[in-house]
Amino acid sequence: MIPCLSKTLFGVECLGCGFQRSLLLLFKGDITSSFQMYPALFTSLLFLGLLGFHFIYKGIISQKLIVIVALINVLFMVAGYFYKHY
């Protein structure tokens, strides 16, 4: 797996730490452990999927929807970070 640059250089986990392990757990079919490892995985995948569709099929998905999903994803990332560390 790719090491986290923030954790390697500064010793502090970033908001994305756990994404790779959580994705691997999801691929193995362990949805519960995947969510516990990184709660924002599902919103991140939704955001990346919508962003991909936006660039491939222009006009189907509005930019406003992408911004809303991005903000929801950031909220999940911050909440998951605080859940894991505090």
Domain boundaries, the chain: 39-86
- Classify residue 46 by its DSSP letter: H
Alpha-carbon span 52 to 30, nearest angstrom: 25
The residue with tokens 């010793």 is: 11
Q: In this predicted structure, what is the pLDDT of residue 70?
A: 97
The residue with tokens 């006009």 is: 59
pTM for the model? 0.86
Instruction: Please provide the average confidence, as pLDDT, over all residues in the chain.
Output: 92
Q: In this predicted structure, what is the pLDDT of residue 23?
A: 96
